[in-house]
Structure 1
Amino acid sequence: MSRRLLIIVDVQNDFCEGGALAVDGGSAVAVRTAEFVREHAADYDRILATQDWHRGDTDNGGHFATPPAEPDFSETWPVHCVAGTRGAEFHPEIEALVAEVGRIEIARKGYGIPSYSALEGATVGTEESVQQLIGSGDWDQVDVVGLAYDFCVRATALGAVATGAPVRVLRRLTAAVHPAGNEQLEAELAEAGVQLA
């Protein structure tokens, strides 16, 4: 019997249109992801939704650009996804999905430190390491979706495939900060063994 895991990466208000670090197409990804999960939830043994969850009183280890410096949108960023704020909440489509499906687990990452990969986080409540969840799960398939394709989705997919898990990125359920770089990104993912679907 196959074991499958779905990771929904950081589909939060600050990464969608109107947010502090909006990705073009972020809200559309939220809608399509919610539709996908409603249709396919039974296909997965576990579903994990991650949140960027930063401290508001620090630069989070250099992750936030400190004025007067401007963010470079590569290694430094505007203040975003501060723990407990509306920006850190899931997009309403994902918030509704979590309430509706019921068995979606939440994991958080990046509190006080730069963090991109979901594997750096832990589940809320049980504090289960996502790294351990994936690495010791004997998964037949790990599917990764969410925001942003070229940062947190990329890091999560590369981290998961490095554990030996078979990993697939569902491209229709992603959007990139720098979409002009998608061809190079996809070559990197494919070379690492990540399937692009």
Structure 2
Amino acid sequence: MATNKVDIVRERTATLDVDPQKGFSELCPKELPVTGALEIVPQLLANHTFAAIKLVSRDMHPTGAAWEASTPAEMLSPVDLPEVDVKWNPHCVMGTEGVELLPGLPPVREYDFQINKGLDPDAHPYGAFYHDQADTLSTGGLEFLQVKGIDTVLVGGLALDFCVKKSVEQLLAAGLRVVLNLAATRAVFPEQFEQVANDLQAQGVELIDDTRALSLVDHV
């Protein structure tokens, strides 16, 4: 599945850390803890060493959002709203610990660009690059990459089967080369990990097992 060796040019490469937040880890067990979330930090940091700039996205939700499940049993039940598909446990609520980045990552202001999404109580976007499901309301991330002359994005974060997947698909649609570090991501539903990775590979994503597969070169 993964590629043994991937050449990248640092000056044209950015990293994207998708929602690497405490609300998706066992540090906030009542939110949306993803098994193994804390384990991705070393590989996210390793990703940074291969790129000229680094981006981070964060879920930044209000209280009482339309997608909030009142009980865990309600999670994933359908919601009939244009910008909300299903219910989720309350997570990454503004002003709470869940919004914070995982321990060991740089402070959010040390990233070159930060994307805060999900502020609208009637919307629950997954991808980092648009505020809406139709991918029309930009968060500014793609434009930032374009201005910086980036053509390759090295991706990790949480979670593979939702926000990482959608963010990667948005990058591909924008014509960017995407390298997904499998050691730097985990899935909400671990049994879906391999299938989601295979689906993304079929769309053109280059998969690596970890950063040992990366080589810095002058040109590709």
Corresponding residue number in structure 1 for 2:58? 51
Structure 2 letter corresponding to 1:157: V
Contact 1:98 1:104 in 2 (8 A): no
Corresponding residue number in structure 2 for 1:70? 74
The structure with the greater share of residues assigned to helix is: 1
User: In structure 2, how many angstroms separate the alpha carbons of the residues matched to 1:152 and 1:70?
Assistant: 20
Question: Would you say how many aligned residue pairs link Structure 1 and Structure 2?
Answer: 182
Contact 2:156 2:180 in 1 (8 A): yes
TM-score after normalising by structure 2: 0.73
Aligned CA distance change for structure 1 residues 66 and 161 (closer, same or farther; 3 Å): same
Query: Among 95, 98, 116, which residue is 1:84 paired with?
Result: 95
Contact 1:6 1:142 in 2 (8 A): yes
Contact 1:157 1:168 in 2 (8 A): no
CA deviations on 1:55-79 (whole Å, 9 max, x unpaired) are 11332xx3x2245961128932100
Structure 2 letter corresponding to 1:54: H
Aligned CA distance change for structure 1 residues 138 and 165 (closer, same or farther; 3 Å): farther
> Structure 2: 5+ residue runs without aligned partners?
1-8, 78-84, 132-137, 209-220
TM-score after normalising by structure 1: 0.81
Query: Among 121, 127, 130, which residue is 1:120 paired with?
Result: 130
Corresponding residue number in structure 2 for 1:10? 19
User: In structure 2, how many angstroms separate the alpha carbons of the residues matched to 1:67 and 1:37?
Assistant: 37
CA deviations on 1:123-180 (whole Å, 9 max, x unpaired) are xxxx961132345654231111111111111111111011000011100000111111
Structure 1 letter corresponding to 2:129: L
Contact 1:53 1:82 in 2 (8 A): yes
What's the CA shift for 1:15?
Answer: 0.4
What's the CA shift for 1:182?
Answer: 1.9
Query: Among 139, 160, 165, which residue is 1:149 paired with?
Result: 160
SS of the equivalent of 1:27 reads helix
Contact 2:128 2:139 in 1 (8 A): no
Runs of at least 4 residues off by over 4 Å: 66-69, 135-138
What is the percentage of aligned positions where both structures have the same residue?
29
Moved more, 19-28 or 105-114: 105-114
Based on CA coordinates, which of the two structures has the bigger radius of gyration? 2
What's the CA shift for 1:107?
Answer: 1.5
Aligned CA distance change for structure 1 residues 162 and 68 (closer, same or farther; 3 Å): closer
Contact 1:9 1:118 in 2 (8 A): yes
Aligned CA distance change for structure 1 residues 58 and 28 (closer, same or farther; 3 Å): same
Aligned CA distance change for structure 1 residues 21 and 191 (closer, same or farther; 3 Å): same
SS of the equivalent of 2:188 reads coil
> Structure 1: 5+ residue runs without aligned partners?
122-126
Contact 1:25 1:175 in 2 (8 A): yes
User: In structure 1, how many angstroms separate the alpha carbons of the residues matched to 2:21 and 2:69?
Assistant: 20
Contact 1:145 1:169 in 2 (8 A): yes
Aligned CA distance change for structure 1 residues 103 and 196 (closer, same or farther; 3 Å): same
Aligned CA-pair RMSD: 2.6
